[in-house]
Amino acid sequence: MASLAGSRFMEADEHEILLDAQDTMLGRLASIVAKQALEGRMVHVVNVEKILISGNRRHVIEASKKFLEVGSVINPEHGPIHPRRPDNIFKRVVRGMLPWRKPRGKDAFRRIRAYHGFPESLRKTRTFDVSKAKATRPSSFYVTLGDLAKELGWKGDAQ
């Protein structure tokens, strides 16, 4: 497993990277993924449902549910659309760290893939260690992205 030590962590010939998101912090991992995508790399993130969000469980869930109530005043059916699946929640967080309205940001966003679990097609690919994004406190201080998604209405589709 190779290590990520900032933006200089890989050889110049690496065009695709695989990151295991288990026990990593949501914001830290999202910023690393956004930077790598902006540098032109295809980024695959696995075990997205095991990403951690820091904070009191009740407060995190209440804030997310309150955000779901935000809608259009004119026609609520027309958006905004709020993601409820862990991979879509993660991709939305990463999108917030990209220059989304510019072609460079749109291209970078297209290079990001997020997966539940660990797909068989990626098993033989070398994973990179994201030690900068790992959680440092005990697990009781965090909420997993999968738990949050289930509270928001995700059915937890089986693989």
pLDDT in tens, 43-76: 999 999 999 999 999 999 999 999 888 888 888 7
The CATH number of residue 27's host domain is: 3.90.1180.10
Q: Is residue 157 assigned to a domain?
A: no
Q: Is residue 65 assigned to a domain?
A: yes
**What does the alpha-carbon distance between residue 48 and residue 116 come to, in Å, rounded to a whole number?**
6
pLDDT at 159: 46
Q: Is residue 33 assigned to a domain?
A: yes
Q: Which domain holds residue 35?
A: 2-6+16-152
Q: Is residue 11 assigned to a domain?
A: no
Task: Look at the chain and report how many structural domains it folds into.
Answer: 1
Q: Which two tokens stand for residue 106?
A: 């749109």
Q: Is residue 64 assigned to a domain?
A: yes
**What does the alpha-carbon distance between residue 34 and residue 118 come to, in Å, rounded to a whole number?**
21
**What does the alpha-carbon distance between residue 51 and residue 93 come to, in Å, rounded to a whole number?**
12
Q: Is residue 158 assigned to a domain?
A: no
pLDDT at 90: 97
pLDDT in tens, the chain (159 residues): 565 654 445 554 579 999 999 999 999 999 999 999 999 999 999 999 999 999 999 999 999 999 888 888 888 778 788 899 999 999 999 999 999 999 999 999 999 999 999 999 999 988 998 999 999 898 889 999 999 999 999 987 654
Query: How far out from the chain centre does Cα 10 lie?
Result: 21
pLDDT at 12: 46
**What does the alpha-carbon distance between residue 34 and residue 112 come to, in Å, rounded to a whole number?**
8
Q: Which two tokens stand for residue 4?
A: 């990520």
**What does the alpha-carbon distance between residue 124 and residue 11 come to, in Å, rounded to a whole number?**
19
CA angle 108, 112, 117 (to 5 degrees): 170
